[in-house]
Amino acid sequence: MSASMRVLVRRATRLSDRNIQLSAAAARASARSSSCRCFSDAAEDRSTHFGFETVPETEKAKRVYKVFENVAQRYDIMNDAMSLGIHRVWKDMLLHAMHPQPGVRLLDVAGGTGDISFRFLEYVHSQQERQKRRAARSMQTPSWQDISNNYSTEDEDGPLESRAVVCDINKEMLKVGKQKADSMGISTGLSWVVGDAEELPFDDDQFDIYTIAFGIRNVTHIDQALQEALRVLKPGGRFMCLEFSKVTNPVLARLYDAYSFQMIPVLGEVIAGDWKSYQYLVESIRKFPDQEEFTEMIEDAGFYCVQHKNLTGGVVALHSGFKL
């Protein structure tokens, strides 16, 4: 299929949740007219999925907001309980794939409670330490010239300071993230911004790395979020996305389904007192496109060298692309 045809088909699939009742006689004519209507800006007519439910697009964002507002306080505990702590491994693997060097600027969208940003700062910090140690080792017997050079290079730590910006649409999640940062004693190099992934409050060409971990499936218009990601990245910047995806192995898929639908809402009820939010969570995972389709969406947005890597047998996929 040509690229334009693919876009059409994909749009139609996403709009297919509408209840279109057409008589067979008027099929052809109304098909043409409704397809025109599909592509015009009739936002009130458009509906999308909220888990397995169908809701108007305008309502989805509100409902997602409410879900995360409810779960914010117990978000981290629930993550540990649901994934048995494996989510930490996934996030560490994202950081290792990212391999950030001191001095880069990170935009962590849907960063919520700050897990990725904290890891980023730690990683960059340890990289910096390693560089310093390497530099120290290479000059075991410094001459006076070297020592005086060292004094002058110490204020060059300024430009080498890495900065992470945590951007999230939900104020409760950011609040929890800020509290975590305070308790961990992290203050420099971290900022917290309220923003919508579909319309980021940043200028063009600002960031070296854009990450979105377990957030993009909650966005109503994923293509818009991808375009925004392209816009705010510097040329050469990297887009990285961690998201739940399709399990390829059929046996593991069955086990994963059983665990998701039987266990996770129960955990949500017992630990967070909220069954429905976690029911939404497992359903939204099923509604998200699979690895290949998402790769195509990232390519369509204009990224190059798009790759994906499956983690834990496809439970989570790490997608990466570059703005060139």
Taking the complex as a whole, the smallest distance from the CB of residue 322 to another protein amounts, in Å, to 23
Q: With respect to another protein, which residue has the nearer C-beta, 13 or 58?
A: 13
Taking the complex as a whole, the smallest distance from the CB of residue 150 to another protein amounts, in Å, to 56
Question: Does residue 80 have a known ligand-binding role?
Answer: no
Taking the complex as a whole, the smallest distance from the CB of residue 298 to another protein amounts, in Å, to 14
d(CA 161, CA 124) in angstroms, rounded, equals 9
**Which residue from 38, 6, 40, 7 is spatially nearest to 22, judged by alpha carbons?**
38
d(CA 183, CA 192) in angstroms, rounded, equals 16
Taking the complex as a whole, the smallest distance from the CB of residue 34 to another protein amounts, in Å, to 6
**H-only helix segments in the chain:** 3-15, 27-39, 57-71, 75-83, 86-98, 115-138, 144-153, 171-184, 222-232, 250-258, 264-267, 275-287, 291-301
Q: With respect to another protein, which residue has the nearer C-beta, 21 or 140?
A: 21
Q: With respect to another protein, which residue has the nearer C-beta, 118 or 288?
A: 288
d(CA 94, CA 320) in angstroms, rounded, equals 10
In angstroms, what CA-CA distances link 291 with 49, 51, 93? 19, 19, 17
Task: List residues near another protein by CB under 8 A.
Answer: 9-10, 12-13, 16-24, 27-28, 30-32, 34-35, 51-53, 246, 253-254, 257-258, 260-263, 265-267, 269-271, 273, 275-276, 279, 283, 286-287, 289-290, 292-293
Taking the complex as a whole, the smallest distance from the CB of residue 245 to another protein amounts, in Å, to 11
What is the end-to-end Cα distance of the chain in Å, rounded?
25
Burial environment of residue 196 by CB neighbours within 10 A (0 to 12, 13 to 18, 19 or more)? middle
Question: Does residue 110 have a known ligand-binding role?
Answer: no
Token pair in block for residue 17: 């949740």
Q: With respect to another protein, which residue has the nearer C-beta, 10 or 175?
A: 10
Q: With respect to another protein, which residue has the nearer C-beta, 283 or 299?
A: 283
Question: Does residue 220 have a known ligand-binding role?
Answer: no
Taking the complex as a whole, the smallest distance from the CB of residue 24 to another protein amounts, in Å, to 5
CB 190 within 8 A of CB 181: yes
Q: Residue 201 is which amino acid? A: P
Q: With respect to another protein, which residue has the nearer C-beta, 30 or 70?
A: 30
The number of CA neighbours under 13 Å toward the Cβ of 147 is: 5
Question: Does residue 197 have a known ligand-binding role?
Answer: yes
Residues annotated within a binding site for S-adenosyl-L-methionine: 113, 168, 196-197
Residues annotated within a binding site: 113, 168, 196-197
